[in-house]
């Protein structure tokens, strides 16, 4: 039987990642307990878990709210992600199977077709599967676990919505070159392609977030309370394209 804290944790985490609870939104214990049909004790425990993951921050005398990443946070996290994903790609090169490579090629076809149709949800889903194959092929449970902590930022910020057509085209090219490097069993090449891939994604998101920060420097954002079933952010598909 699923524990109450696990149910509450899953609800809050999913709502943060799909944008129902927007960055900066207050997470009221009473409201969360009501929607999750649980007491406030598992709510508090779930919030503590999410604080450790970096998705929630708990402020003295103000309670919990969804963490609002700054450009400095973004830069640090993407640098970590670049190092870890490049390591995963290098480890995957001698270990990945032909079947996995064929799956990645099919996913590239799907992503490119979806991008032409402006179906960003499908692009994001296929992209997540593409990168998951690389992580699985790295055959490192520790590395995969560490990566899970740094891929949440682009999930929250829906990176692919900030991509111009040329950014999508460049990203697709990186995917194709990564497959070529993996087929060649070239660890150094695979590492280098993945570094370029994540660095490019970082540049796009960093420029966008810094522009947002400049626009809000003269205005104090209004804190909102996350409400059950109410979207506090602009509707967006879940997933990340990078």
Which of 66, 87, 115 is the last residue before a domain boundary? 66
Cα-Cα-Cα-Cα dihedral sign, residues 28, 30, 33, 36: negative
- Asked if residue 91 and residue 57 are part of one domain, the reply reads no
Instruction: Check residue 18 and give its pLDDT.
Output: 74
Domain-located, residue 227: no
β-pairing, 63-66 with 56-59?
Answer: antiparallel
Domain-located, residue 200: yes
- Asked if residue 205 and residue 87 are part of one domain, the reply reads yes
Helix 187-216 to helix 71-92 angle (10° resolution) is: 170
* CA distance between the termini of the chain: 37
Residues 6+ apart with CB under 8 A from 153: 69, 73, 74, 77, 78, 81
- Asked if residue 204 and residue 87 are part of one domain, the reply reads yes
Domain count within the chain = 2
Domain-located, residue 10: yes
Domain-located, residue 122: yes
- Asked if residue 115 and residue 167 are part of one domain, the reply reads yes
Higher confidence at residue 211 or residue 240?
A: 211
Higher confidence at residue 174 or residue 123?
A: 174
Domain-located, residue 24: yes
| CA–CA–CA angle 118, 116, 203 (5° rounding) | 75
- What is the extent of the structural domain holding 124? 71-216
- Asked if residue 119 and residue 60 are part of one domain, the reply reads no
102-141, pLDDT tens digit by residue? 999 999 999 999 999 988 888 888 998 999 999 999 999 9
**What does the alpha-carbon distance between residue 186 and residue 155 come to, in Å, rounded to a whole number?**
29
User: What value does the mean pLDDT of the chain take?
Assistant: 85
Mean pLDDT confidence for 176-185: 98
- Asked if residue 36 and residue 116 are part of one domain, the reply reads no
Which of 25, 43, 66 is the last residue before a domain boundary? 66
Domain-located, residue 236: no
Instruction: Check residue 239 and give its pLDDT.
Output: 40
CATH number assigned to the domain comprising residue 18? 1.10.10.10
Domain-located, residue 237: no
CB atoms within 10 A of CB 136: 15
Higher confidence at residue 234 or residue 153?
A: 153
- Asked if residue 203 and residue 163 are part of one domain, the reply reads yes
68-87, pLDDT tens digit by residue? 888 888 899 899 999 999 99
* Residue 162 pLDDT > 80: no
């Amino acid at each position: 039987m699923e524990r109450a804290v696990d149910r509450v944790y899953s609800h809050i985490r999913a709502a943060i990642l799909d944008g129902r609870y927007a960055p900066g939104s207050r997470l009221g214990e009473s409201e969360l307990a009501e929607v999750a049909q649980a007491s406030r004790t598992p709510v508090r425990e779930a919030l503590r878990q999410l604080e450790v993951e970096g998705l929630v921050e708990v402020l003295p005398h103000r309670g919990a709210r969804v963490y609002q990443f700054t450009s400095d946070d973004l830069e640090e996290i993407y640098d970590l992600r670049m190092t870890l994903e490049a390591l995963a790609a290098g480890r995957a090169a001698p270990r990945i199977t032909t079947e996995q490579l064929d799956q990645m090629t099919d996913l590239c076809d799907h992503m490119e077709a979806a991008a032409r149709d402006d179906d960003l949800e499908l692009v994001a889903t296929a992209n997540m599967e593409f990168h998951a194959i690389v992580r699985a092929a790295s055959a490192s449970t520790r590395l995969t676990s560490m990566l899970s902590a740094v891929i949440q930022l682009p999930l929250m910020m829906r990176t692919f919505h900030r991509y111009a057509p040329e950014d999508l085209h460049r990203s697709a090219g990186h995917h194709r070159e990564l497959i070529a490097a993996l087929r060649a069993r070239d660890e150094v090449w695979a590492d280098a392609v993945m570094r370029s891939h994540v660095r490019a994604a970082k540049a796009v998101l960093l420029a966008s977030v810094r522009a947002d920060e400049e626009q809000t420097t003269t205005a104090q954002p209004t804190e909102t309370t996350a409400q059950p079933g109410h979207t506090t952010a602009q509707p967006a598909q879940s997933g990340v394209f990078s």
